[in-house]
Structure 1
Amino acid sequence: MKIRFYVGLLFGLFASTLLNAQTIDEEYNAKIKEFTTDPRFLPSSVLGVVDHPEIPSPKKHFGQIIGAPGVMHGTKEIYAYYQLLAKKSPYLSIKQVETTEEGRPIYMVIIGNDDSMNRLDHYKGQMAKLADPRITSPDQAEEIIADSKPVYYLNGGMHSTEMGSPEMLMELAYRLVTSEDKAITYIRENLIVLINPVSEPDGRDKQVDWYHRYTKARTDYDDNFPKSTPYWGKYVFHDNNRDGLQVSQGITKGIFKIFFEWHPLVMLDLHESVPLLYISTGTGPYNEQVDPITIGEWQIMANSDIASLAAQGMPGAFTWAFYDGWWPGYGIWVANNHNANGRFYETFGNAGANTYMRDLSNARYAGDPATSREWYRPDPPTQKVYWSARNNINYMEAGVLASLTYAAHNGEQLLKNFYQKGVNSIQKGKTEGPKAFVIPKDQKDPAMAAYLVNQLRAQKIEVHKAVNGEKEGDYEVLLDQPYRNLAVNLLTEQNYPKEAKFPPYDDIAWTLGYLYGVEVEKQDSIAYDLNDLKMVSEDAVYTGEISGSGSNYYLSYTAQNTVLPALYWLKSENGKAEIHVMENEFVAGPDTLSMGSFYFKGISQKQAEYLTTNFGLDLIKGSEQPKSEETHIVTLPKVAIYHTWFNTQDEGWSRYTFEQRGIPYTSIDKDDLKAGGLRAKYDVILVPRARGNGSDFIHGVTTEFGPMPFTKTDEYPSHGFPDSSPDITGGPGFSGIDNLKKFVEEGGLIITLDNSTNMVAETGIVRNLESYSASGLFHPGSVVTVKIKQTESPVLYGFPETFPIFRGNGPLYRVDLKDRDMMLLQYGTKPLKDEVEYTGPIMGMPDQEIEEKAKPEGGKDVPYVRSGMVRNEQTIIGQGSIFNIPVGKGNVLAFTFDPLHRYLNHHDAPLVWNALINWNHLK
């Protein structure tokens, strides 16, 4: 007993000595208390910031603590602080992982104890071994787990108006490398913590400049003043968290690089929107291909975090009632899709560092008031809260510390779970159907088949290619691999339950074969000799061929995505070349070319070969020449893409798509419409989807707060890109709308996508379109069937009679029966009631003979919903999906869906490309 007593006494004295060896920064802690508006918002875990003699705290470095009123830091300041920490502390390092579209670096910070930092490559290697159970047996896994450390990844600054996480993470990093508190030491010793300090640096700098330029002086949160800069990234606004399937933007590439280098067991994305702290689990329905182990981890970790905050007396933490857990394209879903655990927080942010009175009385989540006491919210907030930036920091940091603590104490279980999820995936691939997917070599757009292969490989899904035998050239995805569930998720139809109680959080269908226009076959057995398969180890590229003989070149058109950029290239190389579009079928030797195919006159063999090699197009040589009256010559248009200043989300995706495809355009805004003279400058004006109605389009951002320049200055250097304006308030006004109408009357083409069709209909640019409200229709983003109504329309060249498109909850329009020839494409395959021919008796006429119509192939109609879910679909079937409305000498082509949605539905995009190719032949 005496020995135990003295050992305990000595240990207590030693611990006390360690504690006393660290001086608490009383001023820092006093400021935390000062800037926290209520003691209930002040958790004990964020106090105790130490005064380190060699490593400067944020207060020493910046002159203010994190969360100080009116203080927000740009990326250069943030990165400089981490670089200083890396110089001063052996526990932290920083390296660049990616570069944004505007040239800013994206960094990753690594934190761990001496052992972790000295053996980083070892621990990365251990995680890679656990990620693939094919190379690691269960016995080996046990040994690896015993010599591994869980990696925990924190992602900050994704959504630029959610400004707190890049601030908080600096204070957290300082705490993790300086504190000798027992809880912090345990985290440092048992975890490797990765921090992405600002995952969207372009938007961060724009938003910090916006805050200092405009919103820092505001005193009322609900005064309707724009809290956000009009642009975040060069292309993508809030959808930067919807890029996980495309992997198109720098932010996503950075997140993916971090994940696949480290295989973190948990990824926590830090967001701000709802009061006071939401910890993700979601209401469901959960994605069917997420391993149940991950779903269990969501629940236990969320409840552990809530319990930790409750133990510190903090109200307002909740789970369940926000988000669903269905769509796999969020940034941190790279974890859920690859056998790790992706989570997120939503804290209550003020879009800056101001303190506001916030009213929660109208906030409801999953039908319940935000202030009600529920099983998932045991300690609700009051209806009004006086909320500061420091409050937000406190909640975010306390939650993160709780989550890191859980991971540090349960690391062995998390490592086992990670390995087991890979085992489960491989086992499913062996025992359940399908066993494989085949992407046949024969495709209507072979270049898109290669693109699909590359997108699968970007997700680390293994793809093989048949290199021998009769199926040589086919691609095969064998499903006995660690990411089998993701492959199934991406390549099969989604079945969102119609009876789901709450509306989905985002799109509910993403079947890549449909979205890319690529045939993908499910196989319940392996169709190839495995010896004939070779792993695809580099990007797939489709190289076209030239067949036939003769002096003329033809292209059989099947709505290939690369045709329009190929035409622009050809005309830039050879201004004398003539490009003819055939308006009827044409026989060239053994080939019958469909309407819409191309005849090239005056191009060289070298140019033809370039089209095959660089654009993946198959050309045909022949001696025949089509009659001139059966073709029209392509005059490639001068295209403008219009953007509003109040909503730039989708025009950014349109610009990105045009640039990726190599289609030249000019970006224009309200000032260009007001200036007029549009027809002299442009042939086509594309108006991408933008929220709002005709009034919003006319009047734009309210002039109540104007003028508001978005221009680059010495004080605000990040503004003015990708577009600038001396005043973003106001819209084109009635004069601008009149100029737009003159543009089309003088022979121009306006293309409106989805919600922007409101603009032409409600402002009177077109008079034929009438808004249609489909009773009870609920149409979240799904893949559905459409049918061609006007078979000779150039907009529909290359498409079969029925095909799938992607559509969300957009507006619907209709035209009178007498104008039904303006309706090019319809939803579903059945006609509207007023289009069904009357077959009954007619007084004064002899009885009619009724012809029995042939049934569709197989005796069944093509289902309307291909992937996803639509409620009351009968109310949309037969309605128009594309309208071609003549206005003066020109046309308005009005879409009621978005064929350029998030750079995802590539199969739909050629409907726009067709319009551009044939812009002056749409009458």
Structure 2
Amino acid sequence: MKKHYGIILLLLFFGSLVTKAQQLDQTYNQKIKDFTTDKRFLPQSLLDVADHPSIPSPLKHFGHIIGAEGQVHGTEEIYAYYKKLAETSSMVHMQEMGKTEEGRIFYLIVIGEENAIANLDRYKAQTALLADARKTSPEQAEKIIADAKPIYYLSAGMHATEMGAPEMLMELAYRLVTSEAEQIKDIRENIITVINPISEPDGWDKQVDWYYRFTKGRELYDDGFPRSVPYWGKYVFHDNNRDGLQVSQAITKSIFKGFFEFHPTVMLDLHESVPLLYISTGTGPYNDFVDPITQSEWQVMGNHDVAEVAAQGMPGAFTWAFYDGWWPGYGIWVANNHNSNGRFYETYGNAGADTYLRDLSTSSFAGDLATSKEWYRPDPATPQVLWSFRNNINYTQTGVIASLSYAASNGKQLLRNFYKKGFNSVEKGKTEGPRAFTILKEQRDPAMAAYLANQLMIQGIEVHESEKDYLILSEQPYRNLLVSLMTPQSYPKDAKFPPYDAIAWTLPNLYGVEVSSLDDVSTLELSAYNLLSEETKYIGKIEGSGNTYILPYHAQNTVLPALYALKQDNKNAEIAVLKKSEEINGKSYPAGSIIITKSNSNQIKKISEKFGLDFECSSANFSVFDQKSVNLPRVAIYHTWYNTQDEGWSRYTFEQRGIPYTSIDKDDLKSGNLKSKFDVILVPRVRGNAKSFVNGVDSKFGPMPYTKTAEFPSHGFPSATNDMTGGPGFGGIENLRKFVQEGGLLIALENSASIMAELGLAPELSPASSGSLFHPGSIVMAKIRRSDSPIVNGYPEEFSIFRGNGPLLQTNKYNRDLMLIQYGFKPLKDEIPYDGPIMGMPDKPKVDKDEKSDGKTKPYVVAGMVRNEQDIIGHGSVFNVPVGKGNVLAFTFDPLHRYLNHHDAPMVWNTLINWDGLR
């Protein structure tokens, strides 16, 4: 009997093992094989998709697998799948994280073992304690680490054409909650995975509609057809990954909200561009204020992931040779800036779900061909690959699983590093300068001083306030970021590779705010300061008596919107601007000062408080002063259909400032009669040259409608057309010329100014050779040449601006009075007076060189780096070119760059205030 009982127990034991063996979904796994073009692109580890009895796989939910040929899903379809996972698995939590500009919802999906999801708030509280070493001692931190779990944040779909990762993450999520593979179980049990499934839902839906409307089934990838929808977000295109300092767009606000709620230990952003899989570390130079621990983690994790992909037989994975690691304004850099670890992947993508023969034989990164075998790329791809959507899914998913597995195996070390980085920042704040920064409230633009304080708080930096100033102490967890934002950057001139983006971001210069740094805080009366817990605002005031209101002008950012608001409230109000500095009642008022009559104290108080402007009342007779009536213009902002990036930033800036405008395109130029509709046309920076501006999207692809339809409901916003192809043509350009000749003002920014010169719309301007100049986005000095121009009202003779690698323009020497502002302080070579003998004239007396100059050279670069700056100094920054009855105002830099260089923008506002007085 005992023998039989033992046999029965043995049979039950082996029977239980059999029942626990996971049933695989053979149909799903076979379809993965079918849609993969080469067995080397498919690791065996991905061929274990489970056939779960109650949790639906993507195949069961959608009727096809992830990565199936010709199949992509809109946001509602993707969200619906995650909702189904949350309904059927206790290991999935789904939460809203705000809304986009167009009203779509941001979601986060949280995956972990059941206890982790049930106690999610506790785990978030633990990482929050580790984030602030002032609240948590090293001993307390070790106890927390023993119980805490690393939180690993994955995000996808930031750039709409990069379509693989948002699809892949659905399959990964299913795998994480159903697979019994040891590696997946280890991930599930030891870390909490947070998925941002679609970082930019607005752009994703537009791109999905674009794919089904235009690009699905095209035979060739490189056929010239635009693979991207013209708009992603309402305002911002690819720069939605350059908003991490401004935090202006809904996508960035959602990412920041997620970071400060979860304090993830690692954040990994999934992108697509280079072949076949790039795992970020960057070539350097690395940002000076990133903790060395983070820099080392980049290397360890990057090489781990490359090794894991190579170990599974997959070619083409590499690290190092793409990107640098300097600019701190990428979305995922919320992690690197706040003591976490921010990483990204770049997988080869086809901007859709079709298969193409791709040629990567000429692709080169960091000087090496993408097909070369290097220390950082142990197994390169062949010069051509037949690349499918499923290949992309395989590569990204394999890399992500490897990265999650690293975190699961090294979680305690990652958590300890996270705490240690914050601890290092606090200690540096105690011992290294600056010990604090102060921002006086009384500034030339006090509203911008408050704005700077608010921007620091958005970054999680603590700001204290007294009656007279703001105080930011360095002894806090994000001290490194604080110092980075408030002091000039110095990019190495000998860097081997060009920077990936801009290289300077000193906020006091970009905002035009005076900031003081303190190396000793012992003399401060800290009791006079209160910690700010909500947004601060400068409330303007009114002083004096009388029924005339004066606004002393110092190029404040909010003056123009205040004038529009006043006229909307009281159309009879009269506004004038002083044409030069005047002495009024014993006080000096600078040129540009605003005089308002036929208004009342209630109206002035309203705009004073709303826009942070200080007014003075007077009963003086202002008719005796040299002034110009202000006629607020009807403004149009022009956009092309082939490049909407910077006009989006311009639209955003105008809307944030409260400046009304009309958006126009090629069809408006072709229709003509522009002067009857508009006074000013702004052409923001646009890529390309005169040919691309005139011709637009190749007309051979037309008609190409961008209209909202029942089938494609996301299209037609924020602008619509029945045909995107073609440009304004020479007829439209001639209408633009006529607009200026009839008295209109054309403002062209950066590359667009060069295009206008090429087209002859600014006939006195010509391209100027830039020699060997290399001028990545840096803060540099400019000097006013025409102090009588209203464009420079409110600015000192010398001031800083932000400039990137834009083209240079110049006039003939006899026309240099058209140059309002120049770069640097020295004149151009042809403007240096000849100092030698002149035949037919008596010799001039010799002048000792010490009498002509003090021998000092003022630096051109404030922050960043410029190579061969001698090739730009003396060239024009801003030109005012009369054409007919109107003017072309050409900026050779972008004063509306990414809603970031607010100090430069008032030159545009001055232009609008004085649009009809520039002759």
TM-score w.r.t. the length of structure 2 is 0.97
**Secondary structure in 1 matching 2:199:** coil
Measure how far apart 1:205 and its partner are: 0.3
More deviation in 434-443 or 378-387? 434-443
- Equivalent pairs: percent with the same residue? 65
Q: Would you say 1:815 and 2:799 are equivalent positions? A: no
Where do residues 737-816 of structure 1 align in structure 2 (5 Å cutoff)? 737-816=733-812
Measure how far apart 1:759 and its partner are: 2.2
Q: Would you say 1:592 and 2:588 are equivalent positions? A: yes
Aligned to 2:465: 465
Aligned to 1:289: 289
More deviation in 864-873 or 37-46? 37-46
**Secondary structure in 2 matching 1:382:** coil
Aligned to 2:833: 837
Aligned to 1:271: 271
Relative to 1, partners in 2 of residues 1:492 and 1:82: Cα closer, same or farther, differing over 3 Å?
same
Where do residues 538-549 of structure 1 align in structure 2 (5 Å cutoff)? 538-549=534-545
Letter paired with 2:648: G
**Secondary structure in 2 matching 1:580:** strand
CA deviation map 1:493-516 (0-9, x unaligned)? 000000000000000000000000
Aligned to 1:338: 338
Relative to 1, partners in 2 of residues 1:788 and 1:115: Cα closer, same or farther, differing over 3 Å?
same
CA distance in 1, matches of 2:12, 2:374: 42
CA deviation map 1:351-397 (0-9, x unaligned)? 00000000011100000000000000000000000000000000000
TM-score w.r.t. the length of structure 1 is 0.97
* Paired residues of 2:328 and 2:337 also in contact (CA < 8 A): yes
Q: Which of 489, 494, 503 does residue 498 from structure 2 map onto?
A: 503
CA deviation map 1:583-622 (0-9, x unaligned)? 1222233421011111111110111211221110011122
Aligned to 1:493: 488
CA distance in 1, matches of 2:473, 2:854: 30
Letter paired with 1:253: K
CA deviation map 1:194-217 (0-9, x unaligned)? 000001000000000000001002
Letter paired with 2:300: I
Aligned to 1:3: none
Where do residues 465-484 of structure 1 align in structure 2 (5 Å cutoff)? 465-466=465-466, 472-484=467-479
* Paired residues of 1:552 and 1:625 also in contact (CA < 8 A): no
* Paired residues of 1:464 and 1:534 also in contact (CA < 8 A): yes
CA deviation map 1:386-428 (0-9, x unaligned)? 0000000000000000000000010000010000001100111
**Secondary structure in 2 matching 1:711:** coil
Measure how far apart 1:547 and its partner are: 2.0
More deviation in 497-506 or 542-551? 542-551
CA distance in 1, matches of 2:13, 2:201: 47
CA deviation map 1:314-348 (0-9, x unaligned)? 10000000000000000000000000000000000
* Paired residues of 2:750 and 2:893 also in contact (CA < 8 A): yes
Relative to 1, partners in 2 of residues 1:857 and 1:834: Cα closer, same or farther, differing over 3 Å?
closer
* Paired residues of 2:453 and 2:463 also in contact (CA < 8 A): yes
* Paired residues of 2:582 and 2:625 also in contact (CA < 8 A): no
CA distance in 2, matches of 1:846, 1:356: 77
* Paired residues of 2:441 and 2:450 also in contact (CA < 8 A): no
CA deviation map 1:721-750 (0-9, x unaligned)? 000000000000010000000000000000
Aligned to 1:142: 142
Q: Which of 518, 529, 541 does residue 523 from structure 1 map onto?
A: 518
Letter paired with 1:614: K
Where do residues 301-380 of structure 1 align in structure 2 (5 Å cutoff)? 301-380=301-380
Measure how far apart 1:12 and its partner are: 14
Measure how far apart 1:20 and its partner are: 4.6
CA distance in 1, matches of 2:106, 2:86: 16
Relative to 1, partners in 2 of residues 1:803 and 1:273: Cα closer, same or farther, differing over 3 Å?
same
Q: Would you say 1:298 and 2:298 are equivalent positions? A: yes
Measure how far apart 1:15 and its partner are: 11
* Paired residues of 1:588 and 1:622 also in contact (CA < 8 A): no
Aligned to 1:604: 600
Measure how far apart 1:861 and its partner are: 3.9
Relative to 1, partners in 2 of residues 1:571 and 1:408: Cα closer, same or farther, differing over 3 Å?
same
Aligned to 1:42: 42
CA deviation map 1:425-470 (0-9, x unaligned)? 011111111111111223110000100000000000011113xxxx
Aligned to 1:222: 222
Where do residues 94-243 of structure 1 align in structure 2 (5 Å cutoff)? 94-243=94-243
CA deviation map 1:698-724 (0-9, x unaligned)? 000001111100011111000000000
Where do residues 51-130 of structure 1 align in structure 2 (5 Å cutoff)? 51-130=51-130
Relative to 1, partners in 2 of residues 1:536 and 1:853: Cα closer, same or farther, differing over 3 Å?
farther
Measure how far apart 1:95 and its partner are: 1.1
Relative to 1, partners in 2 of residues 1:626 and 1:35: Cα closer, same or farther, differing over 3 Å?
same
More deviation in 389-398 or 765-774? 765-774
Measure how far apart 1:859 and its partner are: 7.4
Relative to 1, partners in 2 of residues 1:905 and 1:604: Cα closer, same or farther, differing over 3 Å?
same
Q: Which of 672, 695, 701 does residue 697 from structure 2 map onto?
A: 701
Relative to 1, partners in 2 of residues 1:457 and 1:136: Cα closer, same or farther, differing over 3 Å?
same
CA distance in 2, matches of 1:15, 1:420: 49
CA distance in 2, matches of 1:538, 1:645: 40
CA distance in 2, matches of 1:897, 1:560: 20
Where do residues 13-24 of structure 1 align in structure 2 (5 Å cutoff)? 17=17, 20-24=20-24
Q: Which of 872, 892, 898 does residue 896 from structure 1 map onto?
A: 892
Aligned to 1:469: none
Relative to 1, partners in 2 of residues 1:14 and 1:642: Cα closer, same or farther, differing over 3 Å?
farther
Q: Which of 854, 873, 877 does residue 877 from structure 1 map onto?
A: 873
Measure how far apart 1:13 and its partner are: 6.7
Aligned to 2:677: 681
CA distance in 1, matches of 2:710, 2:135: 56
Measure how far apart 1:851 and its partner are: 8.1
Aligned length: 911
Where do residues 662-673 of structure 1 align in structure 2 (5 Å cutoff)? 662-673=658-669
CA distance in 2, matches of 1:852, 1:647: 55
RMSD over aligned CA atoms reads 1.8
Measure how far apart 1:846 and its partner are: 4.5
CA deviation map 1:250-276 (0-9, x unaligned)? 111111011000000000000000111
CA deviation map 1:510-557 (0-9, x unaligned)? 000000000111211115122222111111100112223333211110
* Paired residues of 1:839 and 1:850 also in contact (CA < 8 A): no
More deviation in 841-850 or 479-488? 841-850
Structure 2: which 5+ runs fail to align? 1-5
CA distance in 1, matches of 2:687, 2:181: 50
Aligned to 2:3: none
Structure 1: which 5+ runs fail to align? 1-5, 467-471
CA distance in 2, matches of 1:83, 1:95: 10
CA distance in 1, matches of 2:905, 2:96: 35
Q: Would you say 1:916 and 2:889 are equivalent positions? A: no
CA distance in 2, matches of 1:793, 1:14: 91
Measure how far apart 1:811 and its partner are: 0.6
Measure how far apart 1:573 and its partner are: 1.1
Measure how far apart 1:628 and its partner are: 5.4
CA deviation map 1:763-807 (0-9, x unaligned)? 111211110121110000000000001001011100000000000
CA distance in 2, matches of 1:735, 1:636: 29
Relative to 1, partners in 2 of residues 1:246 and 1:392: Cα closer, same or farther, differing over 3 Å?
same
CA distance in 2, matches of 1:828, 1:301: 44
Letter paired with 2:612: G
Q: Would you say 1:534 and 2:530 are equivalent positions? A: yes
Letter paired with 2:191: L
CA deviation map 1:608-650 (0-9, x unaligned)? 2112211100111222233356100000000000000000000
Measure how far apart 1:838 and its partner are: 3.2
**Secondary structure in 1 matching 2:154:** strand
Relative to 1, partners in 2 of residues 1:126 and 1:19: Cα closer, same or farther, differing over 3 Å?
farther
CA distance in 2, matches of 1:530, 1:601: 44
CA distance in 2, matches of 1:842, 1:12: 113
Letter paired with 1:820: R
